């Protein structure tokens, strides 16, 4: 074996399961249109479909884990009343011959509503009944869906825990303690092969804890025997107020977090504080954070203000818009920023300088959450 390695070399183990964004070669451009108007060629109209759930509670979280190799490619939605739905995704949109494209599904719409929700038959398998702390405003930060769509992590419980639920049965599978006050936000990193990823929880106690999600055992922590009391990988300190938003990038090994007021902080995943991202004088109240593996960090502050920082703390660009933004999202290559808010309009921007690239037709209500399918289309 050693002689073979010396002669021929050795294949490293696979790290990531999500494909790297392609370089802009002609071949790639035909499969994965990376231009901001990547949506134009698909159909003549902008809105492909509308999914209306029978429950009238606002949808507050959307997770599109749509890779074709998953057991259930799906778009998972969660409402304010904590009713979730696993809506199957059909990989129909795309060019013939592109990965995941199949002719027999081509007449389907891309999303099929969760049958248990659609015919109101299995709502008990989809309703999270555990009580959330009265003072928590349920928003997109309260939920994380694992990369295989099989588990939802939810925070905001009165007992200072966050909890893991199976999306198949709706049953509670793990309760994780560690914070001294109510957990206010959760985030997950991109997934490695086998489904392992980092989970970060932020709390009113002004700290964040970094946890390891084991894709093999489907629990927080490495050891299924001690799943009752998993230990966090790191404690991240430095904020003075309740943590309200966080983003974690495993590839860069960084966690970027924002508290109710004050600068956003950059920590390594080992727990060291690297730097504070100081906004300008009106950028004191961070609300949303998105980080790309290219090292760009987009922060949305209260009252429509956006900043783009490099990971080294340099302020690269700023803008102000007349919308109370509720959701921001970077495309997988980090080039495009998608925003949506109370005005009900989804807008696409160039991430580096906030140049506006595209505006979709308005929705008939405010936008609470967004996600992109794996092919970025």
What sign results for the dihedral spanned by CA atoms 211, 217, 223, 229? Answer: positive
∠ Cα 174 16 346 (to 5°): 80
Which CATH number is 290's domain given? 2.40.128.630
pLDDT at site 237: 96
Residues 174 and 298 in one domain: no
Tens-digit pLDDT profile for residues 205-226 = 999 999 999 999 999 987 777 7
Q: Would you call 53 exposed, middle or buried from its count of C-beta atoms within 10 A (0-12, 13-18, 19+)?
A: middle
Residue 353 falls within a domain, yes or no? Answer: yes
Residue 223 sits in the same domain as residue 310 = no
- DSSP class per residue in 83-118: BEEEEEE-TT-S-TTSTT--GGGTTS-SEE--HHHH
Would 254 be classed as within a structural domain?
A: no
Do 143 and 224 lie in a common domain? yes
| Pair (210, 289) in one structural domain | no
- Last residue in a domain, options 245, 261, 290: 245
Domains in the chain, number? 2
Within-domain flag for 23: no
Domain that holds residue 317: 277-376
Domain assignment present for 185: yes
Q: Do the domain assignments include residue 175?
A: yes
288 and 219 both lie in a single domain: no
360 in a structural domain: yes
Length of the chain in residues, anyone? 377
Q: Minimal CA–CA distance to 116: which of 86, 152, 146?
A: 86
pLDDT of residue 280: 84
Domain final residue, candidates 223, 245, 267 = 245
Are residues 224 and 306 part of one domain?
Answer: no
Residues 180 and 285 in one domain: no
The closest alpha carbon to 195, from 219, 164, 225, 223, belongs to 219
Q: Are residues 84 and 230 in the same domain?
A: yes
Contacts 24+ apart (CB under 8 A), 36-41: 36/336, 36/348, 36/350, 36/357, 36/358, 37/357, 37/358, 38/376, 38/377, 39/358, 39/377
> What are the tens digits of pLDDT across the range 30-89?
444 444 445 455 444 678 888 888 888 899 999 999 988 889 999 999 999 999 999 999
Residue pair 149/70 in contact by the 8 Å Cβ criterion: yes
Three-state SS at 296:
strand
The closest of 211, 115, 106, 234 to 163, measured between CA atoms, is 211
Global pTM reads 0.85
284 and 207 in a single domain? The answer is no
What is the edge-to-edge ordering of all strands in the sheet holding 111-112? 59-65, 74-79, 84-89, 111-112
Do 233 and 281 have their domain in common? no
User: What's the pLDDT at 16?
Assistant: 66
pLDDT for res 273: 96
Q: 301: closest CA among 262, 335, 243?
A: 262
Q: Measured between alpha carbons, how far is 367 from 330 in angstroms, rounded to an integer?
A: 16
Last residue of a domain, one of 229, 245, 261: 245
Residues 67 and 199 in one domain: yes
300 in any annotated domain = yes
CA dihedral 234→239→242→243, nearest 10 degrees, is -50
What DSSP string runs through 27-82? HHHHHS--STTTTTTT-SSS-------SS-SPEEEEEEE--TTSSS-EEEEEETT-
Whether residue 14 is contained in a domain is answered as no
pLDDT of residue 134: 85
Residues of the chain with pLDDT under 70: 14-45, 92-108
On whether both 76 and 191 belong to a single domain, the answer is: yes
């Amino acid at each position: 074996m050693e002689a073979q390695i010396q002669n021929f070399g050795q294949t490293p183990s696979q790290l990531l399961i999500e494909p790297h964004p392609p370089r802009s070669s002609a071949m790639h451009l035909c499969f994965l249109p990376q231009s901001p108007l990547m949506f134009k060629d698909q159909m003549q109209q902008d809105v492909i479909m509308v999914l209306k759930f029978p429950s009238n509670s606002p949808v507050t979280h959307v997770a599109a884990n749509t890779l074709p190799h998953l057991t259930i490619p799906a778009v998972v939605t969660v409402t304010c009343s904590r009713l979730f739905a696993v809506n199957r995704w059909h990989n129909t949109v795309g060019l013939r011959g592109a990965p995941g494209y199949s002719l027999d599904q081509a007449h389907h719409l891309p999303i099929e509503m969760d049958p248990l929700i659609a015919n109101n038959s299995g709502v008990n398998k989809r309703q999270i009944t555990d009580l959330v702390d009265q003072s928590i405003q349920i928003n997109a930060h309260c939920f994380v869906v694992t990369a295989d769509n099989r588990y939802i992590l939810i925070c905001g419980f009165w007992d200072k825990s966050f909890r893991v639920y199976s999306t198949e049965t709706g049953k509670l599978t793990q309760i994780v303690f560690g914070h001294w006050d109510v957990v206010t936000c959760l985030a997950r990193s991109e997934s490695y092969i086998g489904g392992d990823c980092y989970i970060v929880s932020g709390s009113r106690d002004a700290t964040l804890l970094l946890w390891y999600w084991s894709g093999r055992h489907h629990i927080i922590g490495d050891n299924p025997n001690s799943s009752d009391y998993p230990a966090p990988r790191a404690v991240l300190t430095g904020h003075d107020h309740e943590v309200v938003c966080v983003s974690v990038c495993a590839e860069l090994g960084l966690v970027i977090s924002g508290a109710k007021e004050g600068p956003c902080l950059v920590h390594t995943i080992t727990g060291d504080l690297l730097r504070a991202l100081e906004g300008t004088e009106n950028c004191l109240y961070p609300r949303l954070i998105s980080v790309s593996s290219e090292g760009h960090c987009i922060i949305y502050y209260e009252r429509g203000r956006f900043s783009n920082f490099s990971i080294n703390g340099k302020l690269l660009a700023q803008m102000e818009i007349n919308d109370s933004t509720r959701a921001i999202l970077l495309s997988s290559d980090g080039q495009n920023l998608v925003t949506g808010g109370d005005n009900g309009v989804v807008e696409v921007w160039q991430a580096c300088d906030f140049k506006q690239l595209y505006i979709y037709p308005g929705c008939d209500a405010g936008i609470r959450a967004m996600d992109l399918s794996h092919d970025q289309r």
